[in-house]
Structure 1
Amino acid sequence: MKCRNCDNDAVYTDGLCEQCEHHKEAQGARVMSDSERINFSGQTINEDGTIYEETQKIHPEKKASHGYIKFGIKNASWRVKLALGFLVFCMAAIIIGVIGLIVQLIPVLLVLLGVYIVYTLVKALFR
């Protein structure tokens, strides 16, 4: 049996000779292309080092037939989760700040409303 990469005799069960097998082992992990990622059905290692194993293969025709796309942050990287947490924190701080400002302004608004009512009553009495 010949090696699938070169014409040397293959010694390993995956169809590679000793030189190609050593070269393959030395190469290590690499980033998959989009087409490889779509067709891959095994374990992948995320940027943060967590191992992800896809349990079912996604077929484009089945994905299109559902009519919706499901989003989630379960498998998102820690950077995405940190950014989303920061955005939620900022929105909560703004909402709490606006509510606090309204609570602080209620007495001032009531005084202005009282002054306006007194002004219209006095104006109506002197006509």
Structure 2
Amino acid sequence: MSLLVLGEASESEEETIVDRPIVYAKAVAGEAAESDEDVYDKNDNHQSIEANNRTINNNEFFHKKLVESNIALWKNLNNLIRNVVLSASKQLLSADQILMKSQVSMQSALSSVKGIQTNVKQLKDKTEDILTANFIPQINI
């Protein structure tokens, strides 16, 4: 027998008896024995599958929201561009009409100026004829 010293751990196997439960089960060929870890793994797998399903559902939800947002953005952008283009085209049409009126006015002014120029030339010629003509006789005193 061994001598026990206070404060030290015993080193013999006789003194350290571990109570192990007796298992009355027979292993079946081709089937793995289930342990607590397997049960937890199955629960983890089930939870991970549920989490994946939730993630897929969330992804589908976010995808639908993204598509809806993209459609709304496209409509808003399309309306904005349409409004800007319509406004710009109206302004261009207005400017074009003003320029056409100005062109007609300028053509009218040009024809009036040409008529005035012709009249001034005729007046100049007649004035020269009058000044060069000797219609008053010379008077000698």
Q: TM-score by structure 2 length?
A: 0.38
Higher Rg = 2
Query: Which protein is richer in helix relative to its size?
Result: 2
Q: TM-score by structure 1 length?
A: 0.41
